[in-house]
Structure 1
Amino acid sequence: MNKTAKKTIAQKLFYVLKILISISLLTYLLLQIDWEKSFNTIRNANFIWLAVAILFSLLDMMLLTYKWNLLLKVRGMFVSFWRLFTINMIGGFWGLFLPSSLSTDVVRGYYLIKSSSDKAISITSIFVDRLFAMFALFAFVGTGLFFSGDILKDLHIGFYIIGFFVLSAIGVIVLNSNKFSRLMQNFDERFSNNNLVNKVIKLRSALIEYSKYPSTLLYSFVVSLAIQLERVFWYIAIAWAFGVEIPIVYYFIFCPLIIVILMIPVSIGGLGVREGAFVALFTLVGMKMDDAVIISFTSSLIANLFTISGGLFYLIYKSDHKIEDIKSAKIQINETEQT
C-alpha cells in the first residue's frame, strides 16, 4: 500500500472518528435535559430576537466579505463585493462536507483564482485575512479572561491564551527580520522540496507584502474585532429569544472562548463541541442546563442553516465550476505556495 492510499484511509478514519465524537457529545447533552420544560421554553420563544440573530449571521458574512475586499484592493485586485460574498457563501457551504484537507479556504481560494487569475494575491489575501482574524479573536479572548475574575481560575486558560498571543507576536517579528530572511534562503536552497519550509517562506512573503500597508492592516484588525463583537451579540440575541437572562459580561468572556475551542478539528463542523463548550462554560455562572442546551442547539441550527444556504449560490454558479474542479483546488494552491 502506497503512502497516498494510507493517507486516504487515515483521513477517512479520522472523519469517522469526528462523526462519532459529534454524535456522542450531542447524545450526552440531549439525555441531560428536561424535555417537557425545554419544549415549553421553545414554544414561548420570541421570534423577533431569533430574526435578529439571523440578521447578525448575515451581517457577519458581510463584514467578512468587506474585510477580505480591503485586503484585495490594497494589492490592486478589484473584485466586486457581491462576487466575494458569493465566494464566501460557497466556501462555507462546501466546508461543511469536504474533508479537512479541502477546507473552506481552499474553496475560497479556488473561486477567487478563477475570478482574478492572480494566484499569489488570492492566496496571500486569504492567509493574511485569517491571520488577523485570529489575532483579533485572541485579543478578544484575552480581554475577556482578564475580566473573568475567579470564574476560570482552575482551568488556567488565560495562561495559554496569553502565551499564544505573545508567541504569535514574537513569530511575526522574527518572520520580518533580516536574519530570518537569510536563514530561510539557506533552508530554501537545501530543502526546496520540504512543504514546511515552503509554507514558512510563503508566510513570510505574505507578511512582507502586506507590511507595506500598515493602515489597511490596522483597519482589517479593527473590522476583525467588530466581527467578534457581533458574534457575541448573536449569542445574546438567541438567549434573549428564549427569555434567558444572565449578566452580559459572561457572553463577552465565554463566547470568544467557544470560538477558539471550535478551531480544534475534532468534530464535524464543530457539531457537539459548540454545544458542549457552551453548556460547560455557561452552567458555571448559573445558567440552567436546559436553557444552555436550547441556546447552543439553536445557535448551531441557525449557523448551519445559513451556511447550507451557500448551496444556493453554488447552484447558481454550478455551470461554471464543477465539484471535481473544486476538489483539485488544493493541488493548484499547493503549487502556488511552492513558487
Structure 2
Amino acid sequence: MNRKIFKILQIFITLALLTLVLHQAGLFAAEGRRAFVELLSGANFGYLFLSVLVGVLINMSSALKWFMLTRARGIAAGYWRIFCYYLIGQFYNQILPTSVGGDVVRSYQLGKFSGRQADALASVFVERYTGVLVLLLVAAVAVLSQSTVFDVPFVNASLTAFAIGLAGIAWLLFDQRLYRWVKQLVSAKLPLTGGVFAKLDKLLASVDVYKKNPTALMWAFINSLVFYFIAVLNVYVTALVFQIDVQFVHVLIATPIIMLIMNIPLSVGNIGLMEFAYVNVFQLLGYSPALALSVALLMRLKSLFDGAMGGLLHPFFITNNENHLSE
C-alpha cells in the first residue's frame, strides 16, 4: 500500500511540475506558444549536430569510468562491452521508474558475463556513489560562487538532502554495526530474508575491496570531474542550438545544480523535475524559461536516443558465459 501511495504521489508531483514549467514558459498563452515555436524553428543545425556528438562523448566518458573500476577488480570485460552495457542501462532508465533500474540491469548483465555478480554490482555502486559525491561537491562550489543568486529553497533543500543521504551511506560503509544489528533483528523475525542478507554481505565485501584500493578511487574521482566538465559542454552546446549568446560560465555554474536536482527521485522518470530544474536554474541566471525548456526537451530527446541505441544493442548482449561476444 505504501508503494502504491508513493507512486500516486510521484505521478501527482510529475503533473504538477509539468504544469508549473509550461506556465513559466508561457505556453498556456497564444503569444507564449508563438514565441516558443519561433525559438525552436530558429534552431542552429550545426550546433545540433555538435550537441549529438558531445552526447556520445559523455556516454563514452561515463563508460570509461565504469570500465576502469571493473579493471581494478580484475573483471575481464572489454571497454566496448562495458559501453554497450551502459547504453542498455540507459534503455531501461527510459522504461523503468528510476535510474536505479538501469543500474541493476547493467550490473546484472556484467555479472552474468563475468560470473561475478557481487563484484559487478559493487563496480556500479562505486561508480554511482563517487559520481554523486563529486556532483554534490561541484554543485556546492557553484552555489557558493553565486550565493546570493542561488539562496532559494529548492536549491538549498537539494543540497541538504544529498549531503544527508551520502553521509548516511558513507556511515553504513565505514561502520557496519547498524547493518549487522538490522540484519540480526530482521533475520530473527523473518528467516526467509537470509538469502537477501547473504547477497548484501557479498556486495559490502566487494565494495570494501575498493576502500583498500586508493588508486582506483582516485581515478574514479578524476573521471567524475572529467565527466561533469563534458556534461557542462553538453548543456552549453545544446543551449547554443537555440540562443547564440549563452555564456559558458553561466552554464558551468548551472549544470551541476541542475543535475543534482534531477537526481532526486520525486517524479516518474524525472519527468517534470528535469524541466523544472532547467527552467528555474536558468531563470535565476537571467535566461528565459522558453530557452531553458527548449534545452531541457532537447536533452531529454538525446537521452531517449541513447536509450533507443541501448534497446537495439540489448538482444546482442544477453550474456551467456559459454558464448562471449567479441570485445
Fold shared, TM-score > 0.5 on shorter chain: yes
**Aligned equivalent of 2:121:** 123
Greater displacement, 119-128 / 189-198: 189-198
Equivalence for 1:265: 265
RMSD across aligned C-alpha pairs, in angstroms?
Answer: 3.3
Q: 1:143 to 1:198 in 2, by over 3 A?
A: farther
Correspondence for 2:216: 216
Change (3 A) 1:113 1:22: farther
Matched residues in 2 for 1:46 and 1:171: separation? 44
Residues paired across the two proteins, number: 312
What's the CA shift for 1:259?
A: 1.1
- Residues 96-126 of structure 1: CA deviation (Å, up to 9, x unaligned): 1124497111111221122112111011111
Per-residue CA deviation, residues 158-213 of structure 1 (Å, 9 max, x unaligned), is 5863785487458636743xxx3556545544433499988986675344210121
For residues 158 and 275 of structure 2, what CA distance do their matches in structure 1 show? 22
- The one-letter code matched in structure 1 to 2:256 is P
Alignment of 1:307 onto 2:307: yes
Contact in 2 for aligned 1:25/1:273 (Cα 8 Å): no
CA contact (8 A) 1:96 1:268 kept: no
Q: How does 1:4-19 map to 2 (within 5 A)?
A: 6=1, 9-10=4-5, 13=8, 16-17=11-12
Instruction: Indicate whether 1:111 and 2:109 are aligned.
Output: yes
1:30 equivalent in structure 2 = 27
Paired with 2:82 and 2:5, the residues of 1 have a C-alpha distance of: 34
In structure 1, distance between residues paired with 2:129 and 2:9 = 26
User: Once the 2 structures are TM-superposed, how far is the Cα of residue 307 of structure 1 from its aligned partner?
Assistant: 2.2
**What is the rounded CA distance, in whole Å, between the counterparts of 1:160 and 1:133 in structure 2?**
16
2:304 maps to amino acid: N
Alignment of 1:1-339 (within 5 A): 6=1, 9-10=4-5, 13=8, 16-17=11-12, 20-21=15-16, 24-25=19-20, 27-28=22-23, 30-31=27-28, 34-100=32-98, 103-155=101-153, 157-158=155-156, 161=159, 164-165=162-163, 168=166, 172=170, 175-176=173-174, 180-181=175-176, 184-185=179-180, 187-192=182-187, 193=193, 204-317=204-317
State TM-score, norm by structure 1: 0.79
Mapped to 2, the partners of 1:198 and 1:211 lie a distance apart of: 20
Q: What TM-score, normalized by structure 2, do the two folds share?
A: 0.81
| Secondary structure of residue in 2 paired with 1:311 | helix
Secondary structure at the residue paired with 2:81?
helix
Identify unmatched segments of 5+ residues in structure 2.
188-192, 321-327
The residue identity in structure 2 corresponding to 1:155 is P
**Do the aligned residues in 1 keep the contact of 2:130 with 2:220 (CA within 8 Å)?**
yes
Q: Give yes or no for contact 2:11–2:267 (8 Å, CA) kept in 1.
A: no
- Kindly state the Cα deviation for residue 273 of structure 1 after the two structures are TM-superposed: 1.7
Shift of 1:269: 2.4
